[in-house]
């Protein structure tokens, strides 16, 4: 009977000891993210049962329904870049909304863009006072690319960075944006998602990281031992008997 033996390969062992803990850690990180997203969704379900409240600049929970009366500033607004709606690429329109002298940031929804970037989309906006309803949205800081065009209004941005945007608008002191409800005045097409990555996707990512760790472990065992001969997948040599 062939016994299991190991022959340590220093370079291979170094690579294994470096990568294996990283892959395992990434797998557990994705599992934790999945639990966090589940908790967020549970909280949002509770919040969405609440009646609409009066808008205020700070301190409102993400997902809370608000109602406010004011007027859009259609001369100064942002176009959030690379947003897809039903397979088409465009922008989300984020526009200041003046409420009793205070400035809210309202995401009106999606508008199609010119793929060649030869011209920016035209956005029709009510020029009179309206009452809107929408949900509070706390924006994520996770981003790979961050830019804001320095051209005249409207400005193209890669993400919502309220601190940077407040430089352009006097009196902008908020910690969130408001996503318009589809039946609200001035609403554009939208398909709002409560979270950017679902718990199921995080679970799938975790499985991928763990599978890669298992594959790395198997490769290490194959190249550092005679495990294939032990389990009968390779013929034994005289030295193994």
b/e string for 151-167 if b means 16 or more Cβ within 10 A? eeebbbbebbbeeebee
Does residue 187 form part of some domain?
no
Does residue 188 form part of some domain?
no
**Residue spans of the chain under pLDDT 70:** 1-2, 141-146, 194-196, 230-241
Does residue 163 form part of some domain?
yes
Do 68 and 46 lie in one domain? The reply is no
Tokens of 139: 């924006």
How far is it, in rounded angstroms, from Cα 220 to Cα 45?
46
How far is it, in rounded angstroms, from Cα 36 to Cα 34?
5
Do 132 and 30 lie in one domain? The reply is no
Rounded to two decimals, the pTM is: 0.69
Residues 6+ positions from 83 with CB-CB distance below 8 Å: 89, 90, 91, 92, 110
Do 110 and 163 lie in one domain? The reply is yes
Query: How many domains are contained in the chain?
Result: 2
- Residue numbers of the domain that contains 12: 8-51+197-229
How far is it, in rounded angstroms, from Cα 45 to Cα 67?
19
Point out which residues pair with 155 in neighbouring strands. Answer: 78
Do 14 and 73 lie in one domain? The reply is no
Give me the pLDDT at residue 239, please.
44
What stretch of H or E contains 136? Answer: strand 130-137
Does residue 124 form part of some domain?
yes
Do 161 and 69 lie in one domain? The reply is yes
Do 107 and 80 lie in one domain? The reply is yes
Do 127 and 166 lie in one domain? The reply is yes
Q: How far, in Å, are 6, 79, 90, 155, 187 from residue 107 at the CA level?
A: 61, 10, 14, 14, 9
Does residue 215 form part of some domain?
yes
Could you read off the pLDDT of 16-61 as tens digits, one per residue? 999 999 999 999 999 999 998 888 788 778 777 888 899 998 988 8
Give me the pLDDT at residue 241, please.
44
Give me the pLDDT at residue 167, please.
86
């Amino acid at each position: 009977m062939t016994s299991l033996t190991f022959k340590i390969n220093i370079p291979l062992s170094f690579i294994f000891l470096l990568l294996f803990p990283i892959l395992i850690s990434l797998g557990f990180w994705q599992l934790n993210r999945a639990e966090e997203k589940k908790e967020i969704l549970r909280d949002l379900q509770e919040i969405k049962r609440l009646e609409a409240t009066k808008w205020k600049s700070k301190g409102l929970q993400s997902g809370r329904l608000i109602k406010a009366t004011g007027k859009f500033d259609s001369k100064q607004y942002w176009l959030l870049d690379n947003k897809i709606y039903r397979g088409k690429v465009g922008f989300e329109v984020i526009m200041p909304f003046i409420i009793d002298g205070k400035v809210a940031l309202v995401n009106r929804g999606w508008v199609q863009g010119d793929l060649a970037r030869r011209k920016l989309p035209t956005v029709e906006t009510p020029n009179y006072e309206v009452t809107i309803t929408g949900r509070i949205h706390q924006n994520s800081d996770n981003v790979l690319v961050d830019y804001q065009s320095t051209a005249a209004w409207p400005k193209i941005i890669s993400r919502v960075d309220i601190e940077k945007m407040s430089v352009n608008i006097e009196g902008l002191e908020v910690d969130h944006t408001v996503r318009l409800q589809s039946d609200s005045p001035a609403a554009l097409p939208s398909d709002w998602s409560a979270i950017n990555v679902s718990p199921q996707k995080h679970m799938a990512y975790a499985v991928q990281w763990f599978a890669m760790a298992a594959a790395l472990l198997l490769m290490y065992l194959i190249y550092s031992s005679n495990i294939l001969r032990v389990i009968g997948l390779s013929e034994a040599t005289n030295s193994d008997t």
